[in-house]
Structure 1
Amino acid sequence: MLADALEHLVRGIVNHPDDVEVRSRAGRRGETLEVRVNPEDLGRVIGRQGRTANSVRTVIDAINDGEHTRIDVVDTDRKR
């Protein structure tokens, strides 16, 4: 559910919504949501001084009843 919500939020921000992909990974420190976007949209998702990324993290944490979920934003040029 969190991955779907995150994908919906990010698709509304970017210019290339078809390139948005969210994957969930479980780790020792809990769940990590990895967001892949088109390289042209990377700055849009992060925002000035990380404000947009922090706002997205705040919304996802609120959906998750205040539990912290790590969100990593990467561009689609990086190897998977």
Structure 2
Amino acid sequence: MKELIEFVAGKLVDHPDRIEVNLHEEDENVTIELRVAQEDLGKVIGKQGRTARAMRAVLAASLAGDGKRTRLEIIE
């Protein structure tokens, strides 16, 4: 999961070396925190949040069989 978010975000931003992804697991919940450079924040979120929503959908699909709930947080 962590590698998936790093890959997708790396293709979207101008500064892929400044991507930071942290993974936190608690029971059935998985939280992924994504940090990018300030000037790349809009590229990761997308117009009306469409890119962020798409990334969340991919995460949910990747864990569909595990019974875990995922949450992607894009941190400024």
Does the pair score TM above 0.5?
Answer: yes
Q: What's the Cα RMSD here?
A: 1.7
Cα distance between partner residues in 2 of 1:68 and 1:56: 14
Secondary structure of 1:35's aligned partner: strand
Residue-by-residue CA offset, 1:17-63 (whole Å, 9 max, x unaligned): 00011001134771100001000000110011100000111111111
Structure with bigger helix share is 2
- Percentage identity across paired residues of the two chains: 39
Cα distance between partner residues in 2 of 1:54 and 1:68: 15
User: What's 1:78 paired with?
Assistant: none
User: What's 2:42 paired with?
Assistant: 43
User: What's 1:70 paired with?
Assistant: 71
* Count of equivalent residues: 74
TM-score for the superposition, normalised by structure 2: 0.86
- Which runs of 5 or more structure 1 residues have no equivalent in the other structure? 76-80
TM-score for the superposition, normalised by structure 1: 0.82
Cα distance between partner residues in 1 of 2:27 and 2:48: 28
Cα distance between partner residues in 2 of 1:10 and 1:73: 11
Cα distance between partner residues in 2 of 1:64 and 1:74: 22
